[in-house]
Chain A
Amino acid sequence: MLTASAGAPVMTSARHLGPGHYAHVVFCVLVFVFLIAPILVVVPLSFNAQPYFTFTEGMLRLDPDAYSLRWYTMVATSDAWLRALANSFLIGGSATALATALGTLAALGLSNPAMPARPLVMGLLISPMVTPVVISAAGMFFFYSTLGLTQTYLGLILAHAALGTPFVVITVTATLTGFDNNLLRAAASLGAGPWRSFRRVQLPIIAPGVASGALFAFATSFDEVVTVLFMGGLEQRTIPREMWAGIREQISPAILAVATLLIIFAVALMVTVEWLRRRSQRERG
């Protein structure tokens, strides 16, 4: 949802060529380059035929022989990477489901004026977002180890759910402020019980907020490495954890291939969410 749209105003204002205009455009381009270049540079490097992290002479000459898919092949055939991929989706998916359900419930409760101590509860729920991850990870490590949850999938899922929940709470709360509570009264007057009112009236209307919260929660888990370092065992290595190991232990451009795949995945995710949002908006106006 943050993609693409940012550039548009600059393009349209290009018609009015004021004196400061070119400076403005140059500045914007520089910001853009600074943000995007480090990410984009990974993409060509991942097709490097040599085991280096730099552009070879052949690559600069655009010699086809300097490029190859060997790192992609290596990732696709590596047990470690495949397990990391499966782990990331398992942990990320479960943590997202948990965070979305709990965060949505919390946001619904927090939007009720009758709920006592709302700012306090809100602050507590949001705290994982503002606390440095190292601190929460260390805290969780000591707490979870007394419960025997370290080095387990469940432990990581719970930890990531806690980190993802604030995003869901915030996006759903924001969506609920625009929700007309008369709709729930209308549903009740038509005979619907609380569950049916929620499922058929409230949830479809706040769905975009729930979906973007879920997306943020998934992204949080998907690129989280600190709690995995603290709590994950060999079994629970996720993609970021495997990349971390790849950089430290066997420096291999396979990481770049994985990074490229992740970029594509992230873009696809963003596009999907934006598409869903537009569709639901079009239906509703």
Chain B
Amino acid sequence: MDTQDPSRRPTSGEGAGAKTADVYVEFNGVHKTYDGVTPIVRDLHLTVREGEFLTLLGPSGSGKTTCLMMLAGFEAPSAGAIRIDGRAVDAVPPRKRNIGMVFQNYALFPHMTVGANLAFPLQVRGLDRAAVAERVHRALRLVRLEGFEDRHPNQLSGGQQQRVAIARALVFEPRLVLMDEPLGALDRRLREEMQFEIRRIQRTLGVTVVYVTHDQQEAMAMSDRVAVFNAGRIEQVDSPEVLYEEPRRPFVASFIGDNNLLRGRVAAVDGDTCDVRVGDVVINAFMVTRHEVGDDVVLAVRPERTGLVSEAGTYTNEFVLRVEDMAFLGDHLRVLTNIGGHGFVVKIPNIVGHGGVLAGEGVHIGWATLDCRAMRPPEDESSD
């Protein structure tokens, strides 16, 4: 029980893959500042495995693009090292890195046809005409755009331009492809369609992809693992399921899905669970990181992991909370209550209409210890 990670469920924690042989990209203690003062990326350690689809997810300005640009070679790290396939790439210019790139605005060459756009990287590599034509054709088939060779980019829809951009990034068969919010300019329906499309292509080719987005649903839908960025730091790197089920930081808990975050102080510790005083109530919680009595912690409880208590003793945590507000949302009720002075949202599945929940009245709510995670508050993070 003295381990740093008392989690009972299996996790693939950050750095877990660092020692294995299939590591393809490695950020090692990378710092970045543009003006010499403001840190944009801080002490970044991240590994990407061969054939993996890894997403950098974070709010605007958190340094995702900067990381991608350093990997592509358009920006140099201020400190630390980046390795690709085991080789330090500090001195390798972008054009020698052999990395496919998909830009947010596609960056297709407007004066060239689709065919010429795709042929460009092949001509650079000195392939002969027949080989170029063959590969261009194959790449277009991969993105389902056969017969579009002679169109100019401005004669294509946004989704088609997107496909061309992806085909161009793949046509020279790089082992690593970077995508910076490639679906940002598309409408929702097309975006969802392209998410599957990109995933299908990535699986087909087995290529390693580093993908950037600030849309958590997109990240969850596409990725093998997601690195959650916040203010130039990685908060957690894990598979979508683990990020959702076992967030290790308050930021991750609130950024991925919905979570009630409650601040409190540890009143008692028992193994890897603890009692936390929040205002006038005591909540039993699972400790994500080790805490002592008296520590300040943040509790995270997902609205859908709470339930109506029909028989006392079902849950380790049970409270009668006053309903301050509620909304009927079809498949569920969203109920705003208050616990220990904090707003607390409860999601009640619509099985029997309102289920007796009424505004202004009390409602008997409970949740299990494992569904209530105690984590270190954000301001302590610099100490680990």
Contacts and interface: CB of A to CB of B under 8 A. Distances in A.
Interface stretch (A42-50, A62-70, A193-201, A248-256): A193-201
A284 B107 contact: no
A19 interface: no
A189 B154 contact: no
Given A192-B120, A205-B111, A284-B110, A180 B105 contact: yes
Interface string A252-285: 0000000000000000000000000000100111
B196 interface: no
A192 B95 contact: yes
A187 interface: yes
Interface string A173-188: 0000000101101111
Contacts of A190: 95, 120-121, 124, 168, 172
Contacts of B105: 180, 182
Nearest to B154: A285
B107 A188 contact: no
Contact of B152 (A180, A196, A201, A285): A285
Nearest to B171: A190
B155 interface: yes
B98 interface: yes
Given A182-B107, A193-B95, A201-B109, A283 B121 contact: no
Contacts of B100: 189
A191 B121 contact: yes
B94 A285 contact: no
A191 B152 contact: no
A20 B154 CA distance: 43
B72 interface: yes
A189 B94 contact: yes
Contacts of A192: 95, 120-121, 124
**Chain A: interface secondary structure?**
helix
Nearest to B169: A189
Among B74, B93, B100, B109, max chain A CB count under 10 A is at: B109
Given A283-B152, A285-B155, A191 B125 contact: yes
Interface in B236-288: none
B319 interface: no
B103 interface: yes
Nearest to B116: A200
B298 interface: no
B103 A185 contact: yes
Nearest to A182: B107
Contacts of A58: none
A185 B110 CA distance: 14
By size class, the interface of chain B is 20 to 34
Contacts of B108: 186
A204 interface: yes
Nearest to B155: A285
Max chain B CB contacts within 10 Å: which of A182, A191, A284? Answer: A191
Given A180-B107, A284-B111, A187 B120 contact: yes
Contact of A188 (B95, B109, B111): B95
B164 to A, nearest CB: 12
Nearest to B101: A189
A200 B111 CA distance: 9
B154 to A, nearest CB: 4
Interface string B119-161: 0110011000000000000000000000000001011000000
Contacts of B94: 185, 188-189
Contacts of A189: 72, 94-95, 97, 99-101, 169
Nearest to A207: B111
Contacts of A196: 124
B120 A200 contact: yes
Contacts of A187: 109, 120
B101 A185 contact: yes
A193 to B, nearest CB: 6
A46 to B, nearest CB: 43
Interface string B162-184: 00000011001000000000000
A285 B168 CA distance: 21
Contacts of A201: 109
B110 A191 contact: no
Contacts of B109: 183, 186-187, 201
Contact of A284 (B101, B103, B120, B152): B152
A127 B172 CA distance: 48
A26 B142 CA distance: 64
Contacts of A186: 101, 103, 107-109
B172 A191 contact: yes
Nearest to A185: B74
A188 B169 CA distance: 12
A192 B101 CA distance: 13
B154 A191 contact: no
Contacts of B120: 187, 190, 192, 200
A117 to B, nearest CB: 20
A185 B74 CA distance: 8
A192 B98 CA distance: 11
A281 B99 CA distance: 32
B357 to A, nearest CB: 53
Nearest to B165: A186
Contacts of B98: 191
Shortest Cβ-Cβ A-B pairs, 4 listed: A285-B154, A190-B121, A186-B107, A189-B101
20 contacts: A182-B105, A183-B107, A183-B109, A186-B101, A186-B107, A186-B108, A186-B109, A188-B93, A189-B169, A190-B124, A190-B168, A191-B96, A192-B95, A192-B120, A204-B111, A205-B111, A280-B111, A284-B110, A285-B152, A285-B155
Interface of A: 180, 182-183, 185-193, 196, 200-201, 204-205, 280, 283-285
Interface of B: 72, 74, 93-101, 103, 105, 107-111, 120-121, 124-125, 152, 154-155, 168-169, 172
Given A186-B107, A283-B111, 16 more contacts: A180-B105, A182-B103, A183-B107, A183-B109, A187-B109, A189-B72, A189-B97, A190-B124, A191-B98, A191-B125, A192-B124, A204-B111, A205-B111, A280-B111, A284-B154, A285-B110
